[in-house]
């Protein structure tokens, strides 16, 4: 990789990927939307290419001269008043950027999908890249749009694009500026705004390990293959216990029954459609919580050499960063510590 083009570099995974690429000595060019928050790119020696996933001319300008493409950008929200905009970015944008990469004869493409597009029995058995799945298994517009986008990417493999698909699980760590839905859970725990929880589970991975997994996929991944970029399977209760130990805040202790929360989420969804304000209880989030989203990343470890540092370290760095950036206050018994860039 000599010169790479990264979409989504202002976001959580994308910015971390850009930093990792620069450390490897790559020349990095990033797609940025006009008026976007570029805080995550501050101090980075990257070339900015202003444009949009739905603007093919800007994509052509950006990709020209690059030998490798990392398509990380996505509209990641659990709720949107206008789902069509999410499909336009996640499906239409993927089609546009991969079409451009094919035209520009890019030598390697890594497409960032999600474990949400993969099969998962939901009974605690970890899903793999080969677990059966269909569109009917997708919950919410984000998962549906990413499922369709992944199918779109697969058509380009058939057309000869040298593409590898990565499926990150749930990355955690510093620089989650939005924050992501998982980052918001961490912030809510730090601010003591989450008194109760549903019985569910997630697969967590340090965001830097996830970024390095992207690079390893570009270097060693087999064209046309999928790789789960994940690490530890933890119940939500386990995650809260770790956050409590790290931060000094009490962990939520009340486990709520699923059905009443689902009903409340439907009510919140109806109010949100009328007001245009994001619901306090996203329906898609509650529906997803019905399954333990556990996954097995053995294939990525075996074929790519995916690094997997302890998730506790990633949570520690996330807590340090969120508190240092003012998302939540520090506890007097847990003073701030520097976060390595």
The SS3 call for residue 231 is coil
Over 298-333, what HEC string results?
Answer: HHHHHHHCCCCCCHHHHHHHHHHHHHHCCCCCCCCC
Calpha distance 161→152 (Å, rounded): 12
Task: Give the list of residues 6+ apart from residue 273 with CB closer than 8 angstroms, or none.
Answer: 81
The pLDDT tens digits along the chain (341 residues) read 899 999 999 999 999 999 999 999 999 999 999 999 999 999 999 999 999 999 999 999 999 999 999 999 999 988 888 899 999 999 999 999 999 999 999 999 999 999 999 999 878 899 999 999 999 999 999 999 999 999 999 999 999 999 999 999 999 999 999 999 899 999 999 999 988 888 899 999 999 999 999 999 999 999 999 999 999 999 999 999 999 999 999 998 888 888 888 888 888 888 888 888 888 788 888 888 888 999 999 999 999 999 999 999 999 999 999 999 999 998 755 554 444 54
Calpha distance 181→41 (Å, rounded): 21
Q: What string of DSSP letters covers 25-82?
A: T-EEEEEE-TT---GGGTT---EEEE--TT-HHHHHHHHTT-SEEEE------S--S-
Whole-number pLDDT of residue 341:
45
pLDDT digits (tens, 9 = 90+) for 24-38: 999 999 999 999 999
Calpha distance 88→216 (Å, rounded): 29
Q: Smallest Cα–Cα separation from 165: which of 113, 93, 89, 219?
A: 113
Whole-number pLDDT of residue 61:
96
Residue 250, CB-side half-sphere exposure with 13 Å CA sphere:
8
**Between vectors from CA 221 to CA 218 and to CA 225, what angle results, nearest 5°?**
120
Asked if 89 and 75 touch (Cβ cutoff 8 Å), the reply is yes
The pTM assigned to this predicted structure is 0.93
Asked if 109 and 100 touch (Cβ cutoff 8 Å), the reply is no
> What is the dihedral angle through the alpha carbons of 193, 196, 198, 201, rounded to the nearest 10 degrees?
60
Asked if 60 and 98 touch (Cβ cutoff 8 Å), the reply is no
**Between vectors from CA 227 to CA 222 and to CA 164, what angle results, nearest 5°?**
45
Q: Residue 297 has which token pair?
A: 């990343």
Q: Residue 74 has which token pair?
A: 């996505």
Whole-number pLDDT of residue 232:
98
Whole-number pLDDT of residue 325:
95
Q: Are strands 201-206 and 232-235 parallel, antiparallel or unpaired?
A: antiparallel
Calpha distance 73→6 (Å, rounded): 8
Give phi and psi for 167, each to the nearest 5: -120, 85
Helix axis angle, 140-158 to 93-103, nearest 10°: 20
Q: Which H helix or E strand runs over 227?
A: strand 226-229
Calpha distance 247→323 (Å, rounded): 10
Q: Which H helix or E strand runs over 110?
A: strand 108-112
Whole-number pLDDT of residue 139:
92
Burial 62-80 (b: 16+ CB within 10 A, else e): bbeebbbbbbbbbbbbbbb
């Amino acid at each position: 990789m000599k010169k790479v083009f990264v979409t989504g570099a202002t976001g959580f995974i994308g910015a971390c990927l850009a930093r990792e690429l620069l450390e490897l000595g790559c020349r990095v060019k990033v797609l940025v939307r006009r008026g976007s928050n570029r805080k995550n790119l501050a101090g980075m020696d990257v070339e900015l290419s202003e444009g949009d996933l739905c603007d093919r001319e800007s994509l052509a300008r950006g990709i020209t001269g690059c030998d490798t493409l990392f398509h990380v950008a996505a509209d990641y929200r659990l709720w949107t008043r206008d789902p069509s905009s999410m499909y336009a970015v996640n499906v239409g944008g993927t089609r546009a950027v991969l079409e451009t990469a094919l035209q520009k004869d890019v030598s390697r493409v890594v497409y960032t999908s999600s474990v949400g597009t993969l099969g998962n029995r939901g009974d605690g058995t970890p899903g793999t890249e080969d677990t059966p799945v269909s569109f009917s298994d997708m919950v919410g517009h984000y998962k549906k749009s990413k499922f369709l986008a992944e199918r779109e990417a697969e058509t380009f493999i058939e057309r000869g694009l040298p593409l590898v698909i990565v499926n990150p699980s749930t990355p955690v760590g510093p620089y989650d500026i939005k924050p992501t839905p998982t980052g918001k859970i961490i912030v809510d725990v730090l601010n003591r705004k989450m008194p109760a929880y549903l019985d569910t589970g997630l697969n967590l991975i340090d965001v830097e390990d996830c970024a390095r997994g992207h690079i390893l996929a570009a270097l060693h991944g087999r064209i046309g293959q999928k790789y789960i970029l994940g690490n530890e399977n933890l119940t939500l209760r386990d995650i809260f216990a770790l956050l409590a130990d790290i931060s000094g805040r009490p962990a939520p202790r009340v486990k709520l029954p699923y059905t009443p929360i689902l009903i409340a989420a439907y009510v919140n969804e109806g109010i949100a459609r009328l007001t245009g304000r994001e619901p306090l209880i996203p329906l898609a989030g509650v529906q997803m919580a019905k399954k333990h989203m556990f996954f097995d990343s053995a294939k990525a470890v075996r074929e790519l050499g995916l690094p997997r540092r302890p998730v506790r370290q990633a949570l520690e760095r996330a807590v340090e960063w969120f508190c240092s950036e003012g998302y939540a206050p520090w506890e007097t018994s847990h003073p701030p510590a520097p976060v390595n860039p």
